[in-house]
Amino acid sequence: MARLVMKFGGTSVGSVERIQNVARLVAREVDAGNEVAVVVSAMAGETDRLVALVEDMRSGANTSSHDESEYDAVVATGEQVSSGLLSIALQVMGYRARSWNGWQIPIRTSDVHGSARIDDIDAESLGTSLSEGNIGVVTGFQGVTENGRIATLGRGGSDTSAVALAAALRADRCDIYTDVDGVYTSDPRIVQKAHKLDRISYEEMLELASLGAKVLQTRSVEMAMVHQVPMRVLNSMGDPDDPKNGTLVCDEDDVVESIMVSGVTYSRDEARINLLRVTDQPGIASKIFGLLADANINVDMIVQNVSRSATQTNMTFTVRESDLARALELLEARQEEIGCEEITSDDHVVKLSVVGVGMRSHAGVASTMFAALAEKGINIDVISTSEIKISVLIDEQYTELALRTLHTAFGLDATEQ
């Protein structure tokens, strides 16, 4: 017997029929003798409907009057509905189930409404209820603040709810049911030879998640890593017993295959800014990036070119594409102060990354990557590296070619089985 947390997203609970399908998946685990807590998102479309109501109510109003706690009070109802409905579906099938809202457990959060963090989960009542043979159906995405107000974790927060709950319940595993079969070596829509990984380490998954693979929310993987909760990603429309369904995200030591690179990923939400002929004086970088940080603009890759003159340098960095206009506006307003002669930008760029814990012990990943791209005539703009990742910025027209080239170069192409 094991204790499991199963998490289902909005598409999986998007209709009465789909909720009944979820109930059958839950019942299977219960029939196998497991204790099960289920975490659900709002029915697909419901959160959007509620957010639209809030926005209609605020339209034309000054943003200073916005109280995010009321946004949360409205939007959190979506999960309340789906948890109640799934409980009913399980009861109709003859199982004992009850819904738990965040405040009923309680899942205690910070008071940053709209993007709260889980501080603590008191899993005693829920744990007792599970031990007594009840299925617990928990609202994802939300908790309660110290002041007793409802707070939401921000969109996608249900994955984090599930992992945090699994940690608090000392669950043996957290299964994240979604609409894909698992984690792939690359985007299968582009790289036809991409194959599903059976296992991947937390660290690799973290890099893949933050690099644009949308299968899991970054915070949930971080939390799973910290609390050493094994996570399984699998397709809610597939057979949970099929070994082809699902990827286990677990400790590095438990990943049996020892490969250099686990995945090749990309992110299109990138834009490059060049500050040309910046006066090279101490503190200039902190002035530029301080300015952007104050405006909540995240800077990712940074390169300071070797100066051609002793007094001037070129600086290149990337921001999210959606932040580009705002960043340029800020920089141009302070151009004189920064002491930069020209500002250029390009949003037709893409960031390509290879990720793998194997890089720690294998030299030559970078040279393999650069050589493979060079052979196809793909120019590299900017490079950034971390312990288990190498990213390069390239012209977006080469996205597909570069992905396929690297996938082959690192031996990831699926072989006929």
Given the rule CB under 8 A, which residues bind a second copy?
16, 19-20, 50, 53-54, 56-58, 61-62, 65-67, 69-71, 73-74, 76-77, 80-81, 83-85, 87-89, 91-92, 94, 98-99, 101, 103-104, 148-150
Give the Cβ contact number of residue 129 at 10 Å.
18
Query: Of 48 and 332, which has the nearer Cβ to a second copy?
Result: 48
Those residues with Cβ within 8 angstroms of residue 101's Cβ, 6 or more apart along the chain or in another chain: 79, 80, 83, 139, 142
C-beta of 85: minimal distance to a second copy in Å?
5
Crossing angle of helices 16-31 and 77-92, rounded to 10°: 60
Give the Å distances, CA to CA, from 75 to 47, 48, 141, 157, 361: 6, 9, 10, 13, 47
Query: Of 11 and 69, which has the nearer Cβ to a second copy?
Result: 69
Q: What b/e string do you get for 250-260 counting C-beta neighbours within 10 Å, with b at 16 or more?
A: beeeebeeeeb
**What CA–CA distance (Å, rounded) separates 234 from 214?**
14
Query: Of 78 and 157, which has the nearer Cβ to a second copy?
Result: 78
C-beta of 75: minimal distance to a second copy in Å?
8
C-beta of 180: minimal distance to a second copy in Å?
27
C-beta of 69: minimal distance to a second copy in Å?
7
C-beta of 158: minimal distance to a second copy in Å?
17
Q: From start to end of 107-210, where are the E strands?
A: 107-109, 118-121, 135-139, 142-144, 150-152, 173-178, 199-201
Query: Of 76 and 209, which has the nearer Cβ to a second copy?
Result: 76
Query: Of 104 and 384, which has the nearer Cβ to a second copy?
Result: 104
C-beta of 19: minimal distance to a second copy in Å?
7
* DSSP, residue by residue, 46-67: HHHHHHHHHHHHHTTS-GGG--
**What CA–CA distance (Å, rounded) separates 205 from 159?**
14
Query: Of 19 and 165, which has the nearer Cβ to a second copy?
Result: 19
Query: Of 91 and 408, which has the nearer Cβ to a second copy?
Result: 91
C-beta of 79: minimal distance to a second copy in Å?
9
- Residue that has been written with the tokens 């974790």 in this structure: 153
